[in-house]
Structures are given as structure tokens and as C-alpha cells.
Amino acid sequence: MRILISLTLAALLAGCSLFSSTTAWTKPGVTPEQADADLRTCKEIAWAQQDTDEKIDQDTSAAANDDAYGAVDTELSRNMSSQRSGKRFGAIVDDCMRQLGYSPAN
């Protein structure tokens, strides 16, 4: 089970760059290097939040599985959770970049 969780986390982290709903950002007076650094910072914030959310989900799942009537973990629920996680990652990155003064590039 731990191996499956580790592999899932590795796949999520490898694909995190795909999760941002906006791929290019612009801010007057900022060098491309600074924009890249700011984007990396925002992604690190999103990864940290995603890790926290994952731990909460694991705790919740463990508590539910302690009960004989706990929820069944199916492939569908894992896929839905992964999709929500990806959307949340993108939203966090987008919000972070906007807070730093960037706007989506056209």
C-alpha cells in the first residue's frame, strides 16, 4: 500500500507542471529569470499545500476504514481525487502568481 501511495505521489509531482491552468505569465519590468523564479516559488507553495491536503485525506480515509462501514476506495474515487488535486494545484499557482502582480500572457 505504501508503495502505491509513493508511486502516486511521484506521478503527481512529476506532472504538477501540467496542472497550472495558465502556462505563461507576464509582468512589466520583470526579467524572464525572475518570472521563472516566482513561478517555481508558487509551485512550491502549491506542492506544500497539496502534501498537506494528501495527509489530511489519508487521515480521513484511515479513520473511515477503522469503521466496518467505511468507504470503499475505488479506482473511480482515486481518479476523481487526482483530478480535484490537479485543479487545486493549478488554482493555487494561478492565485499566487496574480498576488505577485502577474497576469496571464495572451
Task: Using a cut of 0.75, tell me whether the model's pTM lies above it.
Answer: no
What pLDDT, on the 0 to 100 scale, is given for residue 106? 78
Cβ-contact 86, 21 below 8 angstroms: no
Half-sphere exposure of 95 (CA within 13 A, CB side): 8
In the predicted model, residues of the chain with pLDDT beneath 70 are: 1-22, 57-73, 76-82
Question: pLDDT of 14-30, one tens digit each?
Answer: 454 444 456 799 999 99
What pLDDT, on the 0 to 100 scale, is given for residue 98? 96
What pLDDT, on the 0 to 100 scale, is given for residue 56? 75
Q: Domain locations in the chain?
A: 2-104
